[in-house]
Amino acid sequence: MYELIHVKGNTYYIDCPAKIGVYVTTENKAFLIDSGSDKEAGKKLLRRLEEQGWSAEAILNTHSNSDHIGGNKLLQDRLGVPCYAPEIEDAFTKHTILEPSFLYGGYPCKDLRNKFLMAEAAPVRPLSEADLPSGFSFFPLPGHFFNMVGFRTPDDVVFAADCLFGEEILNKYHVTFVYDVAGYLETLDRISSMDADWFVPAHGPACGDIRPLAVVNRKKVEQIAADLLEICRTPSGFDQVLARLFDRYQLTMNFNQQVLVGSTIRSYLSYLIDTGRMAVTFQDNILCYQAL
């Protein structure tokens, strides 16, 4: 874990739960794509850089989920490096209370203000092309979160962030976080149409052809949507829907999963409503979902 993996040319990644991209310029300056889940990840990343004799130049965050920005503060405190993030994501990165608040739908109690849902806040600047080294680019990958982006290095390596997940993760957990299902499906189409020498998903194996993995992720979205329609053949309140889905996938409920998976399932229900396959009714002042 946290091994430095060479991909191509001057492009590397740190092999950890949410992969950290590393692009090294000819001056041995390292541009980091995300920073890991917490300060311990940041410390391990620092050790890898020191072993190679590289100095960190900047942190480029793909989005603001805590497992991608958790090392920001330590790296900035230790090295003073600037951090850049896309608009909206920069607000969540600077004000990390926003993520558990958004997920919970109100002020999060102490149990939800944990490093899994709420990274340490750190300064961040809006991302622009001017902040990137020569030959580097970024592109939108909406759907997973508000305004996630991917990066392409001059070595034609694409860091795809959380726009798709490895098959092993999908088989184990079934429901990966999605904010906008329609936007997510469009992103799967977009990434499938891209050509690159290498693709590096944050939560999946690096590969030369991303299309097979995109197909697997699309099928999982379709399965979840179909299962929700079956669960809601009779009017069902949200807690009933979520419990039945957890039972179906043999998942274990806890507070973190309730808000994280719960937010995703609300997004699926919105998607089904917007596509004319689900309706809402009120029974005894309880909002219920019903398949059409």
Is 226 part of any domain? no
Q: Indicate the pLDDT class of residue 48, thresholds 50, 70 and 90.
A: very high
Residues 264 and 282 grouped into a single domain: yes
In this prediction, residue 285 carries a pLDDT of: 97
Residue 1 has pLDDT above 90, yes or no: no
Interior angle at CA 112, CA 88 and CA 272, nearest 5 = 60
Whole-number Å distance between alpha carbons of 61 and 127: 9
First to last CA, the chain: 47
Residues 282 and 187 grouped into a single domain: no
Is 263 part of any domain? yes
Residues 19 and 119 grouped into a single domain: yes
| CATH classification of the domain holding 108 | 3.60.15.10
Q: Indicate the pLDDT class of residue 254, thresholds 50, 70 and 90.
A: very high
Residues 85 and 128 grouped into a single domain: yes
Query: What range does the domain containing 59 cover?
Result: 3-221
The tens digit of pLDDT for each residue in 106-146 reads 999 999 999 999 999 999 999 999 999 999 999 999 999 99
State how many domains the chain has: 2
Is 166 part of any domain? yes
Cβ within 8 Å of residue 120, ≥6 positions away: 38, 39, 70, 72, 73, 74, 96
Residues 217 and 249 grouped into a single domain: no
Residues 51 and 185 grouped into a single domain: yes
